[in-house]
Structure 1
Amino acid sequence: MTESPERPEPPAPPFASHPDLVLRTLGGSVIAASDESFAAKENLVNPWPPAFSPGTFGAKGQEYDGWETARRRPDASGELGHDWAIVRLGLPGVIRGIVLDTAWFTGNFPPYASVEAYGADGRHPSPAELAAADWTEVVPLSLLKGDAVHAFPVDAARRFTHVRLNIHPDGGVARLRVHGEPVPDPRLLDGLTVDLAALENGARVVECSDMFYSAPDHMLFPGTARNQSEGWETARRRGPGHDWAIVRLAAPGVIRLAEFDTTHLKFNAPAAVALAGIDARTGDPGDPGAWHELLGRTRVQPDGRHRFRLPAAREVTHVRLDVHPDGGLSRLRLLGDLSDGGTRLLTDRWNALAGGRGEGERAPSPGGFTTR
Structure 2
Amino acid sequence: MTDDGGGGLGDSDPLALPDLASRALRGSVIAASDEFFAEKENLILPGAPTFTPQTFGHKGQVYDGWETRRRRGPSGALPGADEHDWVIVRLGAAGVVYAVLVDTAYFTGNYPQSCSVEGARADGYGDVASAAEWVPLVPRSPLTGDAQHVFQVASELLCTHVRLRIYPDGGVARLRVHGTVVPSPSLLEGLTFDLAALENGGDVIACSDRFYSSPRNVLSPGLSRVMGEGWETRRRREPGNEWLVVRLTGQSEVALAEIDTSGYIGNPPGAASLLGIDAAVSSLDDSSAWFPLLPRTPLLPDTPHRFRLPGSRPVTHVRLDVFPDGGVARLRLHGSLTSHGLAGVRRRWAETAGS
TM-score over 0.5 for the pair:
yes
Q: 1:306 to 1:77 in 2, by over 3 A?
A: closer
Alpha-carbon separation, structure 2, partners of 1:33 and 1:19: 24
Q: 1:77 to 1:260 in 2, by over 3 A?
A: closer
Given that 1:236 and 1:326 are in contact with CA atoms closer than 8 Å, whether structure 2 keeps it comes out as: yes
Alpha-carbon separation, structure 1, partners of 2:56 and 2:184: 45
Q: Output one character per residue of 1:55-93: Cα deviation in whole Å (capped at 9) or x when no partner.
A: 011100000000000100124989871100011001110
Q: Aligned pair count?
A: 341
Partner of 2:295: 296
Q: 1:79 to 1:21 in 2, by over 3 A?
A: closer
Alpha-carbon separation, structure 2, partners of 1:313 and 1:294: 10
Alpha-carbon separation, structure 1, partners of 2:37 and 2:79: 26
Residue type of the partner of 1:94?
V
Q: 1:338 to 1:73 in 2, by over 3 A?
A: same
Partner of 1:269: 268
Instruction: Please give the residue correspondences for 1:283-322 in structure 2 after superposition, counting only pairs within 5 Å.
Output: 283-322=282-321
Alpha-carbon separation, structure 2, partners of 1:322 and 1:168: 49
Partner of 1:93: 95
Partner of 1:115: 117
Q: Percent identity?
A: 55
Residue type of the partner of 1:318?
H
Alpha-carbon separation, structure 2, partners of 1:187 and 1:300: 36
After TM superposition, give the deviation of residue 14 of structure 1 in Å: 2.6
SS of the aligned residue for 1:43 comes to helix
Instruction: Please give the residue correspondences for 1:214-225 in structure 2 after superposition, counting only pairs within 5 Å.
Output: 214-225=213-224
Given that 1:74 and 1:80 are in contact with CA atoms closer than 8 Å, whether structure 2 keeps it comes out as: no
Alpha-carbon separation, structure 1, partners of 2:297 and 2:237: 21
Residue type of the partner of 2:125?
H
Partner of 1:239: 238
Q: 1:78 to 1:43 in 2, by over 3 A?
A: closer
Partner of 1:81: 83
Q: 1:54 to 1:218 in 2, by over 3 A?
A: same
SS of the aligned residue for 1:164 comes to strand
Is 2:29 aligned against 1:30? yes
Q: 1:132 to 1:255 in 2, by over 3 A?
A: closer
Alpha-carbon separation, structure 2, partners of 1:136 and 1:250: 27
After TM superposition, give the deviation of residue 217 of structure 1 in Å: 1.1
Residue type of the partner of 1:125?
G
RMSD, aligned CA: 1.5
Instruction: Please give the residue correspondences for 1:151-230 in structure 2 after superposition, counting only pairs within 5 Å.
Output: 151-230=150-229
Partner of 1:131: 130
Alpha-carbon separation, structure 1, partners of 2:82 and 2:337: 53
Alpha-carbon separation, structure 2, partners of 1:117 and 1:204: 23
SS of the aligned residue for 2:224 comes to coil
Given that 1:294 and 1:313 are in contact with CA atoms closer than 8 Å, whether structure 2 keeps it comes out as: no
Alpha-carbon separation, structure 2, partners of 1:134 and 1:319: 38
Partner of 1:106: 108
Q: 1:80 to 1:135 in 2, by over 3 A?
A: closer
- Segment drifting more, 173-182 vs 75-84: 75-84
SS of the aligned residue for 1:51 comes to coil
Given that 1:66 and 1:172 are in contact with CA atoms closer than 8 Å, whether structure 2 keeps it comes out as: yes
Partner of 2:7: none
Given that 1:254 and 1:315 are in contact with CA atoms closer than 8 Å, whether structure 2 keeps it comes out as: yes
Alpha-carbon separation, structure 1, partners of 2:81 and 2:253: 59
Residue type of the partner of 2:60?
G
Q: Output one character per residue of 1:295-317: Cα deviation in whole Å (capped at 9) or x when no partner.
A: 10001111110001011230011
- Segment drifting more, 216-225 vs 284-293: 284-293
- Segment drifting more, 214-223 vs 78-87: 78-87
Residue type of the partner of 2:278?
D
Partner of 2:3: none
Which segments of 5 or more consecutive residues in structure 1 lack a partner in the other structure?
Answer: 1-12, 357-372
After TM superposition, give the deviation of residue 54 of structure 1 in Å: 0.4
Q: 1:224 to 1:79 in 2, by over 3 A?
A: closer
Partner of 1:47: 46
Alpha-carbon separation, structure 1, partners of 2:197 and 2:131: 33
Alpha-carbon separation, structure 1, partners of 2:228 and 2:135: 35
After TM superposition, give the deviation of residue 158 of structure 1 in Å: 1.2
SS of the aligned residue for 1:344 comes to helix
Alpha-carbon separation, structure 1, partners of 2:268 and 2:236: 13
Alpha-carbon separation, structure 2, partners of 1:28 and 1:203: 17
Given that 1:279 and 1:318 are in contact with CA atoms closer than 8 Å, whether structure 2 keeps it comes out as: yes
Divergent runs of 4+, >6 A: 76-80
Q: 1:83 to 1:288 in 2, by over 3 A?
A: same
Alpha-carbon separation, structure 2, partners of 1:59 and 1:77: 24
Which segments of 5 or more consecutive residues in structure 2 lack a partner in the other structure?
Answer: 1-11
SS of the aligned residue for 1:353 comes to helix
Alpha-carbon separation, structure 2, partners of 1:251 and 1:206: 14
Given that 2:121 and 2:133 are in contact with CA atoms closer than 8 Å, whether structure 1 keeps it comes out as: no
Partner of 2:340: 341
- Segment drifting more, 347-356 vs 319-328: 347-356
